[in-house]
Amino acid sequence: MSQFRRLLPSANSLVVFEAAGRHENFTRAAEELGMSQAAVSYAVRALEEQLGVTLFQRMHRSARLTEAGERFHADVVAGLSRIERSAEDIRAKGREVNVTLAASTAFASMWMLPRLARLREDLPDIDLRIQTSVRDLDLEEEAIPLGIRGGDPKDWPRYHAALLAPEIITAVASPAFIEQNGPAESPADLTRHRLIWLEEPVRQACNWPEWFASSGIDYAPKGRRLAINDYVLVIQAVLAGEGIALGWNHLIEGQVRSGQLVQVGRHALVTGEAFYVVWPRSRELNASAARVRDWLLAEGEGFGRDR
């Protein structure tokens, strides 16, 4: 690039040269650029001196490109056109109001859905699109600006990550189930109740033996069990009184607050991992995506710093 600056100290001369070559007339180029004809002529002359070659054949009312001028003009047009397209693309991205968020079905339905009215009220000019998947999408490959991921940001070196919620897991049931089957004050009491299992097809999720182990109990399931591969359906089964399930606190907080679900016992597993808003390091968020990110973090009261 230092060689470029030595050859062409003024990039503006390229803009003048492109217009002059396109019109083959210094006066019309001057009118287009809002300059005087003398200024155009001076810029072209300076460019010719810098390159050490004649670019135009001057005539009475026109200026034709020389052979060298035609070759150089074609390259200048290609370069300036590419810069123009890039600038327009950047400008368009800055104006985008459509923001896509990649998330699990559980997060979309249990965390986002109850907050959509507030999102529309707080960010009325932004059109949020939620893309769900059974696996964590590659945001770079899919050209998605934002995602929600659970785990440890050290495992995602290509992403920025900001804390949304810590991973805290409790046992939950419906009030009707507790009324019918009696309370369970300790984790040991839970082993005598019907337990509903989440079997994630792709993402790793805590299971009952791991949860019991965190309370000091070596638990092995006996007999048949109800296992569901979708967390939304797990919670639907709990609400229907089918048994007790593990509850991720950031997802079930609304149902616990409303009394639809109740915590069973007092044990809570704090895994040390968390859920994060993530976005690729390879490209900068546009203004709309940054506003959605900040809104998500404010809703989650996440105080994690960008990793």
The pLDDT, as a whole number, for residue 83 is: 83
Give the CATH fold of the 97-307 domain.
Answer: D-Maltodextrin-Binding Protein; domain 2 (3.40.190)
Mean pLDDT of 50-61: 88
CATH of 2-95, one of 1.10.357.10, 1.10.10.10, 3.90.550.10, 1.10.1200.10: 1.10.10.10
In this structure, what token pair is assigned to residue 29?
């180029």
Residue ranges of the chain assigned to CATH 1.10.10.10: 2-95
Predicted confidence (pLDDT) per residue in 199-238, tens digit = 988 888 999 999 999 999 998 887 778 999 999 999 999 9
Average pLDDT, the chain: 89
The pLDDT, as a whole number, for residue 91 is: 62
Q: What kind and span of H or E run contains 16?
A: helix 12-23
Predicted confidence (pLDDT) per residue in 157-170, tens digit = 999 999 999 999 99
Contact 102, 146 (CB under 8 A): yes
Mean pLDDT of 10-24: 87
68-77, 101-110, 146-155, 288-297: the lowest-pLDDT one:
68-77
Contact 129, 156 (CB under 8 A): no
Closest CA relative to residue 266, chosen from 163, 172, 151, 138: 172
Whole-angstrom distance between the N-terminal and C-terminal Cα of the chain?
33
Rounded Cα gap, residues 126 and 119, in angstroms: 9
Residue ranges of the chain assigned to CATH 3.40.190.290: 97-307
Q: Does residue 51 carry a pLDDT above 70?
A: yes
